[in-house]
Structure 1
Amino acid sequence: MIQSNYVGKAYLQGMGTPRFALRSIVLFLITLPCLMCGRPEPTYATLPQSPGGFQMAVADFHWLVGHWVRQGQPTDTETHEIWRTHPDGALRGHGFILRNQDTVWEEKMVFAAGQDGWQLTVETPGNDDAVIFDLTASGNQDFVVENPQHDFPQRIHYWREADTLKAAVSADSTLLSFVFSPKPR
């Protein structure tokens, strides 16, 4: 028993030597790549290719996430868009208009990767079927989705400029623009 304590003490005293430090660094450098090899990144799953032949993940659209309030509205009206990431890998949005604190209009949106690329699916009350828009262009902080068969809109463009979220919906010669700010906390 006394001998094992002595061996343990000698071992601990050797931990401060340059040789021990070098061994520790080498062991760390060998172990680190092994630990990283099998670890997938949760936000960048293998997804279908988007326009231009590149793959995109939900993290590429994270700039959309937040609670946004439209600027330039009458005092009795508020337009909101709330975007959240969902565990299924999609972005889910809820847009609604309040007039005198009553909800007068709303829509549910899902922006997700499908087999043919990214799509924005929009459901509004009064419409039996959801409208699906295909991603046709995207950049660092913007994207365009389109559905030429839909009456209005046929094209939706979202983009970020500094702290604002902007959107434009259009069809033929009609264009509506929106500017949103983050909801004050």
Structure 2
Amino acid sequence: MKIKFPLYVLAITTCIACNNSNTAEDTGSNATSRVSENKAKDFDWLLGNWQRTNDEQGKQTFETWARLNDSTYKSHGYTLVKKDTVWQEHVLLVKNNTDWYFKVSVQNESSSTDFKLTQKTDTSFQCENPLNDFPKTIGYNKSGEDLNAVISDGNTTIPYHFKKIK
């Protein structure tokens, strides 16, 4: 009897451990599936024409977002001083396999600077590129009718507040 009881306890413990292990794996794989199944429509809150409300005096900054397909968004941002364009950038928010990338191309540069999406909710996301000088992080969130963006390198943070242009 002394031998059977420890074997019985060992068998039960093993079964419980196996069930817990499978549950953890299922939870992990389901979470991964949910992330990889995200389509561009999950970023529809970006769509439209936006004007920055916290610009420097004499400047007007705009962003326009459009969805090209289920794995690509496109943005064009620019700043005007009077009627002259003094800055502009193009952004692609692109899904590459299971990861999303925020690819920024500024005027006079032939290649993009890529930021990997590291956090996402229904109305926000954050991207990172720790090798870039500035910024290292880019974040967007929608709050009511406002669109907010923040760029930062950990020391300097620049906020952008936008209102939708109707």
Shift of 1:101: 1.3
1:65 aligns with 2:59: no
Distance 2:70 2:37 in 1: 17
Q: Which runs of 4+ in 1 moved over 3 A?
A: 49-54
Tell me if the contact between 2:52 and 2:61 (Cα under 8 Å) persists in the aligned partners: yes
* Structure 2 match to 1:89: 71
What residue ranges of structure 2 are gaps of 5+ in the alignment?
1-30
Supply the AA of the counterpart residue of 2:39.
Answer: A
Q: Secondary structure at the residue paired with 1:144?
A: strand
The structure carrying a bigger strand percent of its residues is: 2
User: Once the two structures are superposed, what CA deviation does each residue of 1:81-113 show, in whole Å capped at 9, x if it has no partner?
Assistant: 000011463110000001001101000000010
Secondary structure of 2:45's aligned partner:
helix
- 2:36/2:98 contact within 8 Å kept: no
CA contact (8 A) 1:144 1:155 kept: yes
Q: 2:123 aligns with which of 112, 121, 141?
A: 141
Q: Deviations over 1:57-103 (max 9, x none)?
A: 10110000110000033453110000001146311000000100110
Larger Rg: 1
Q: 1:50–1:117: 8 Å Cα contact kept in structure 2?
A: no
TM-superposed deviation, 1:115: 2.1
Match of 2:28 in 1: none
**Paired letter, 1:86:** L
- Rounded to whole Å, the distance in 2 between the matches of 1:52 and 1:151 is 32
1:127 to 97, 105, 109: 109
- Indicate whether 1:99 and 2:81 are aligned: yes
Query: CA RMSD of the aligned region, Å?
Result: 2.0
- Cα distance in 2 between the residues matched to 1:121 and 1:72: 24
User: 2:132 matched to which residue of 1?
Assistant: 150
Counterpart pick for 2:156 among 145, 166, 174: 174
What secondary structure is seen at the aligned counterpart in 2 of 1:72?
Answer: coil
Q: 1:69 to 1:53 in 2, by over 3 A?
A: closer
Q: Once the two structures are superposed, what CA deviation does each residue of 1:135-157 show, in whole Å capped at 9, x if it has no partner?
A: 00000100001100000011000
Q: TM-score, normalised by structure 2?
A: 0.75
Q: Give the gaps of 5 or more residues in structure 1.
A: 1-48
Matched positions, count: 136
Q: Give the structure, 1 or 2, with the largest relative contact order (CA under 8 Å, sep 6 or more).
A: 2
Q: How do 1:13-32 and structure 2 match up within 5 A? A: none
- d(CA) in 2 for partners of 1:53, 1:87: 18
